[in-house]
């Protein structure tokens, strides 16, 4: 946390104390607002560069989650969003695409491997890059038993993955298009249906109290770590 955190420690701030929790909340809120600002400053440029890389590699992608919601509801970014979400079929991601992204200024931060605990099967399911301080999550979609699924991991302190969540997203093909600030981007074949699966039928009405943890969704499965877990792999540091 920099100088302020050092002062807090010198004054006797301890992990888990009342003051530490208050301080942690303040720092997280400050960081959240900073990330919101970066999204609105650099989000459009990031998406334009990402779209160019996909076109150069002949890769189909589409915007997902909050990025898709912003495109449909706001024709821009959601005011409180902090990153970019996109998806593509698992087999579409390649070393070539990664190299094109890096050549355009993207910096690889980490990726997740989905690990089926009983079988030991392990497959990469998500990549995260940074571009000018903004994160983009690239979700890789699995075609399983006539259903398209993507996976998200809940990461606790120390990079411990406490839970894996899978989303059944239905059919995404043929792709449609949406616009964010007049930039045309790929989207699932039925954006409204996709957003209803994630956020409910009233997704067009902003809900300041909406919480993903409280949202009951039949298209979401919470997997215990004894069944499916993730392996977080940090990318080597670069000078970029």
On whether residue 5 sits in a domain, the answer given is no
With b meaning 16 or more CB within 10 Å and e meaning fewer, what string describes 127-157? Answer: bbbbbeebbbbbbbbbeeeeebbbbbbeeee
For the full predicted model, state whether its pTM sits above 0.75.
yes
- Phi and psi at 13, nearest 5°, equal -65, 130
**Residue 174 included in any domain:** yes
Tell me if 186 is assigned to some domain. Answer: yes
CATH code (residue 66): 3.30.460.40
Read off the DSSP letter of residue 17.
S
Residue 113 bridge partners (DSSP) = 124, 231
In a domain, 119, yes or no: yes
Closest CA to 20 of 5, 2, 3, 31: 5
Question: Residue 96 is inside which H or E element, if any?
Answer: helix 95-103
Return the pLDDT at 3: 56
CA dihedral 175, 77, 94, 126 (to 10 degrees): -110
For residue 9, being part of any structural domain is answered with no
Q: Kindly state whether residue 6 falls inside one of the protein's structural domains.
A: no
Residue 63 domain-assigned? yes
Per-residue pLDDT of 104-149, as tens digits, reads 999 999 999 999 999 999 999 999 999 999 999 999 999 988 889 9
Tell me the DSSP string of 172-213: --S-EEEEETTEEEEE-SSHHHHHHHHH-TTTTS--TT--TT
Share of the chain above pLDDT 90, in %: 68
Q: Would you state the pLDDT for residue 12?
A: 56
Q: Which parts of the chain have pLDDT scores under 70? A: 1-26, 212-213, 238-240
- Structurally, the chain folds into a number of domains equal to 1
- Residue 201 sits in which domain range? 15-205+212-234
- Tell me, yes or no, whether 172 lies in a domain: yes
Instruction: Tell me what pLDDT residue 65 has.
Output: 95
Kindly report, residue by residue over 159-172, the tens digit of the pLDDT. 889 999 999 988 89
Measured torsion, CA atoms of residues 52, 55, 60, 65, in degrees rounded to the nearest 10 = 10
């Amino acid at each position: 946390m920099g100088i302020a955190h050092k002062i807090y420690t010198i004054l006797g701030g301890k992990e888990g104390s009342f003051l530490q929790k208050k301080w942690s909340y303040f720092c997280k809120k400050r960081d959240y607002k900073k990330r919101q600002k970066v999204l609105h400053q650099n989000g459009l440029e990031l998406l334009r560069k990402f779209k160019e890389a996909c076109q150069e590699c002949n890769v189909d992608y589409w915007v997902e989650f909050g990025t898709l919601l912003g495109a449909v509801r706001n024709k821009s970014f959601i005011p409180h969003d902090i990153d970019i979400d996109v998806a593509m079929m698992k087999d579409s991601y390649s070393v070539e695409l990664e190299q094109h992204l890096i050549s355009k200024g993207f910096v690889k931060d980490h990726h997740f491997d989905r690990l089926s605990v009983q079988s030991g099967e392990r497959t990469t399911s998500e990549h995260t890059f940074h571009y000018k301080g903004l994160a983009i999550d690239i979700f890789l979609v699995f075609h399983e038993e006539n259903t398209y699924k993507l996976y998200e991991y809940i990461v606790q302190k120390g990079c411990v993955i406490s839970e894996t969540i899978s989303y059944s997203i239905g059919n995404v093909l043929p792709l449609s298009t949406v616009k964010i600030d007049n930039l045309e981007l790929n989207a699932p074949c039925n954006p409204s249906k996709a957003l209803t699966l994630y956020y409910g039928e009233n997704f067009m009405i902003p809900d300041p109290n909406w919480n993903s943890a409280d949202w009951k969704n039949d298209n979401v499965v919470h997997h215990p770590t004894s069944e499916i877990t993730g392996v977080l792999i940090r990318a080597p540091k670069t000078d970029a």
